[in-house]
Amino acid sequence: MIKPLGDRVVLQAIEKEEKTASGIVLPETAKEKPQEGEVVAVGTGRYENGQKVELEVKQGDRVIFSKYAGTEVKVGETEYLILRESDILAVLD
Amino acid sequence: MIKPLGDRVVLQAIEKEEKTASGIVLPETAKEKPQEGEVVAVGTGRYENGQKVELEVKQGDRVIFSKYAGTEVKVGETEYLILRESDILAVLD
Amino acid sequence: MIKPLGDRVVLQAIEKEEKTASGIVLPETAKEKPQEGEVVAVGTGRYENGQKVELEVKQGDRVIFSKYAGTEVKVGETEYLILRESDILAVLD
Amino acid sequence: MIKPLGDRVVLQAIEKEEKTASGIVLPETAKEKPQEGEVVAVGTGRYENGQKVELEVKQGDRVIFSKYAGTEVKVGETEYLILRESDILAVLD
Amino acid sequence: MIKPLGDRVVLQAIEKEEKTASGIVLPETAKEKPQEGEVVAVGTGRYENGQKVELEVKQGDRVIFSKYAGTEVKVGETEYLILRESDILAVLD
Amino acid sequence: MIKPLGDRVVLQAIEKEEKTASGIVLPETAKEKPQEGEVVAVGTGRYENGQKVELEVKQGDRVIFSKYAGTEVKVGETEYLILRESDILAVLD
Amino acid sequence: MIKPLGDRVVLQAIEKEEKTASGIVLPETAKEKPQEGEVVAVGTGRYENGQKVELEVKQGDRVIFSKYAGTEVKVGETEYLILRESDILAVLD
């Protein structure tokens, strides 16, 4: 299990199947860096003026995040992205 | 539905029909980057000295924002702009 | 109506009729960027240590501001400048 | 009258009559940028941790300031320098 | 014994035995900089708004950290990495 | 008299008579920039979290300061250095 | 005596006798910049949210510090390094 610290969030990026107008599935390289992902685990929260405040996102949320944010890590065979909650722009529900 | 986090706002940019003095509608490329938009959703607020403070803008407000602010995202077929409230300059009413 | 947010101020720049010593009115390009303007609208204030504090300038004040501050916007046919109060140096009365 | 905002100060620079060792008065261009001036007006103060604090300098004080600080403005025929109190180094009495 | 100060943590990096798909163990130079390590000692904590707050990680935790963070030091024959807790991304349990 | 503002200190640099090993007194240019000086006057203090706190150094203290800190000013025939207390490293007694 | 101000610490660097694998003592130039030293004197502390807090290190502590931190000064014939406590990574006991 991977437990993020403080205001960090662990998510798995969701590759968007990108097809050109004419239906061709884009090769890996040409694809836009993914901006959507599913939250796997959230940190214990961050401090606001000395008070510990919970994070807004929850495990299982589908989120949109800043394209080049966070650090890619591999645990076993699984690729994760660890980023700060402030790099998450919105929740899609 | 797209729910922005914290002090972020989701809006849809309003393309200004730009005509030159002689009435020619400008092509996409030559157009100024839009600076007006309509608020679609607002975040839960931001912290000021440990207190959570609501955002000033509301859903449906027509606003002016800094030209190069925010992140463009596409959800389904719709283009949105997600930016921080501090990038919104004024409300037009 | 254009309502600025937070600590922002909307003003209309006052072009200074600039004449060279010999009385020639300077062409637009050669003119110094205006630094004087009249306040059209003020934001709701800014936070100081969690307290909302009103802005010092008022609608109708004639002010001096930092030359390259703010964002120029056009609403209808009128040109405005939207800047933060901290870019206003002094009030002329 | 020119009323500076917040922690700003308006002063008039005092040109130091600069003579080389051999007594030649330096031409305008070669002169060191003035660092002395007289305070014409002071702002209403600045915030320290939510409390408004008065400025230390008073109208009429002769002060030393950082050479390249502030903004030069002309009101009528008079040249002023508007700078923040933190750019004033000391008072000469 | 090596006692880190404040919000710092001392850890020993864990070299990941990196084999290419075809099973060749990578030479030192080609290896990715390690991102996993075991916590050897933790600092006394950091200040949040005047209150001393304990660190989240404990001695013996296996952690993932930012690749180029911290300072490598050698005490006797042992290599350690000293970094700030904010450079640790997550705990692996 | 020269009265520094806030957390500033006025001092007179002490030129160290620098001799090479073989006893040659270094010429002005080759000399290291002085780092020692005597405090002539101290400011009224600085704010820490809204409280005004006195400076640690006193008039007459012999101090070591960061080499390139502060502003050189001349009052009458005397050269002074005005710097912030945070640029003073230690007191020599 | 040399008394550091605020959160500063005075220490004497400990040169590590560096021998190559084959036992050759490294010449001065090739040596790594020292990272170990002994604390000679500590400052009166630093402010955290308006409260004065003592430093963690004590006189006589053997410490590890960031390689290029601090300022080298010479008092009489002795070389000292004056740095901020935040540049000290750990205490060796």
Show the tokens assigned to E81: 């990495």
Question: What pLDDT, on a 0 to 100 scale, did the predictor assign at position E83?
Answer: 96
Residue of E nearest to G50 (CA): E50
And the tokens for D52?
A: 């408004």
Which residues lie below 8 Å from residue G30, measured CB to CB, with a gap of 6+?
Answer: none
Q: Is residue E84 within 8 angstroms of chain G, CB to CB?
A: no
| Range among A23-32, D20-29, G69-78 with highest mean pLDDT value | G69-78
Average pLDDT, chain F: 87
CATH of D8-16+23-92, one of 2.30.33.40, 3.40.50.720, 1.10.1740.10, 2.60.40.730: 2.30.33.40
Secondary structure E strands in chain F = 2-4, 8-14, 36-42, 46-48, 51-53, 62-65, 71-75, 78-84, 88-92
Give the separation between CA C8 and CA C5, rounded to whole angstroms: 6
Map residue C86 onto helix, strand or coil.
helix
Whether A51 has its CB under 8 Å from any CB of chain B: the answer is yes
pLDDT at G24: 59
Residue pLDDT, tens place only, B3-45: 999 999 999 998 766 555 566 555 555 555 658 999 999 999 9
Q: Which residues contact F68 (CB under 8 A, 6 or more apart)?
A: F33
- Render the burial of A61-76: b for 16+ CB within 10 Å, e for the rest: bebbbbeeebbebeee
A69 vs D27, D38, G53, CA distance in Å?
Answer: 56, 51, 36
- Which amino acid, residue E69? A
User: What tokens were used for F4?
Assistant: 């520094």
pLDDT above 90 covers a percentage of chain G that reads 68
Asked if the model's pLDDT at residue F28 lies above 70, the reply is no
pLDDT band at D11 (very low <50, low <70, confident <90, very high): very high
In the block, which residue shows the tokens 């903004």?
A: D71
Hey, what are A85's tokens? 């909650």
How many CA atoms lie within 13 Å of E28's alpha carbon, on the beta-carbon side? 0
Q: Which candidate from E3, E47, E73 shows the least CB-CB separation from G91?
A: E3
CB contact under 8 A, B47 and A49: yes
Residue-level pLDDT at F76: 86
Residue A26 has pLDDT above 70, yes or no: no
G46: its two tokens: 């630093």
| ipTM value | 0.84
pLDDT tier for residue D4 given thresholds of 50, 70 and 90: very high
Q: Give the pLDDT of residue F67.
A: 84
The domains of chain B are located at 8-87
Cβ pair A10:E93 closer than 8 A = no
Gap between the Cα atoms of G4 and G84, Å rounded: 10
Answer whether G77 touches E (CB < 8 Å): no
Q: Is the pLDDT of residue E29 over 90?
A: no
Mean pLDDT along residues G21-30: 56
Q: How confident is the model at residue G30 (pLDDT cuts 50, 70, 90)?
A: low
Q: How far does Cα A26 stand from its chain's mean position?
A: 22
The stretch C6-28 carries a mean pLDDT of 74
Chain E: partners with 3+ C-beta pairs within 8 Å: A, G
User: The domain B8-87 belongs to what CATH superfamily?
Assistant: GroES chaperonin (2.30.33.40)
Q: For the segment F42-71, what is each residue's pLDDT rounded down to a tens digit?
A: 999 999 999 999 999 999 999 999 988 999
pLDDT at A92: 95
What pLDDT, on a 0 to 100 scale, did the predictor assign at position A4?
97
The subunits that touch chain D, with at least 3 C-beta pairs less than 8 Å apart, are C, F
The answer to whether residue E29 neighbours chain G at the CB level (below 8 Å) is: no
Instruction: Report the pLDDT value the prediction gives residue B48, as an integer from 0 to 100.
Output: 94
Is A21's pLDDT higher than 70? no
d(CA D72, CA D33): 12
Report how far residue E13's alpha carbon sits from residue D89's, in angstroms, rounded to the nearest whole number.
50
CB contact under 8 A, B75 and A92: yes
Q: Which two tokens stand for residue E9?
A: 């943590």
Chain G residue numbers with beta carbons less than 8 Å from the beta carbon of E10 are 90
- The answer to whether the CB atoms of C8 and B89 lie below 8 A apart is yes
Beta bridge partners of F83: F9
Mean pLDDT score across all residues of chain D: 87
Q: Tell me if A48 sits within 8 A of A21, measured CB to CB.
A: no
C29 or C14: which carries more pLDDT confidence?
A: C14
D76 pLDDT band, cuts 50/70/90, is: confident
Q: Is residue F18 within 8 Å of residue F32, measured between CB atoms?
A: yes
Strand partners, C3: B91
- Residue B79 to chain C, least CA–CA distance (Å): 23
Residue E10 has pLDDT above 90, yes or no: yes
Mean predicted confidence (pLDDT) in B52-67:
96
- Partner chains of A (3+ C-beta pairs under 8 Å): B, E
- Chain G touches chain C, with at least 3 Cβ pairs below 8 Å, answer no
Q: Which residues of A touch B5 (CB under 8 A)?
A: 56-57, 85, 88-91
Say if residue G29's pLDDT is above 70: no
Instruction: Find, in chain C, the residue whose alpha carbon is nearest to that of D84.
Output: C89
* Chain C hits for B92, Cβ within 8 Å: 1-3, 75
Per residue in C33-48, pLDDT (tens digit) is 658 999 999 999 999 9
Cβ separation G49–E44 shorter than 8 A: no
Sheet holding F78-84, edge to edge: F71-75, F78-84, F8-14, F36-42, F62-65, F88-92, G2-4
pLDDT reported for residue G68: 87
* Alpha-carbon span A75 to E47, nearest angstrom: 32
Q: What is the chain F residue with the closest CA to G84?
A: F89
Between CA G8 and CA C19 the distance in angstroms is: 58
Cβ density class F24-40: b for 16+ within 10 Å, e for less: eeeeeeeeeeebbbebb
pLDDT of residue A20: 55
Comparison of pLDDT for D25 and F84, the residue scoring more:
F84
Q: Which two tokens stand for residue F48?
A: 């820490």
Tokens 């010429």 belong to residue: F27
Tell me how close the Cα of B91 comes to any Cα of chain A, in angstroms. 22
pLDDT at D68: 87
- Which pLDDT does position D34 carry in this prediction? 59
Chain F residue at shortest CA distance from D56? F5
Nearest to E10 by CA among B87, F84, G90, A73: G90
**pLDDT band of D54, cuts 50, 70, 90:** very high
What confidence score (pLDDT) does residue D46 get? Answer: 96
Q: How confident is the model at residue D93 (pLDDT cuts 50, 70, 90)?
A: confident
pLDDT of residue A11 exceeding 90: yes
**Confidence class for position A71, pLDDT limits 50, 70, 90:** very high
How confident is the model over E71-80, as a mean pLDDT?
Answer: 90
Q: Residue D53: list chain F partners with CB under 8 A.
A: 47
How much is the average pLDDT of C12-23? 70
For residue D10, pLDDT beyond 60? yes
Q: What percent of chain D shows pLDDT beyond 70?
A: 80
Count the residues in chain G.
93
Which CATH class for the F8-60+68-92 domain? Answer: mainly beta
Stretch C16-34: mean pLDDT? 58
Cα separation, E43 vs G48, in Å, equals 17
- Decide if domain A8-92 falls under CATH 2.30.33.40: yes
Grade residue C30 by pLDDT with cuts at 50, 70 and 90: low
Residue B92 has pLDDT above 60, yes or no: yes
With a cut of 70, say whether residue D22 has pLDDT above it. no
- Within chain F, where are the H helices? none
Tokens standing for residue A52: 């510990």
CB contact under 8 A, B88 and C10: no
Q: Does chain F reach chain A with at least 3 CB pairs under 8 Å? A: no
pLDDT at G86 over 80: yes
CB contact under 8 A, D47 and C35: no
Q: Does G6 touch chain F (CB under 8 A)?
A: yes
- Does an interface of 3+ CB pairs under 8 Å exist between E and A? yes
Q: Could you tell me if G92 and E41 are in contact, meaning their C-beta atoms sit under 8 angstroms apart?
A: no
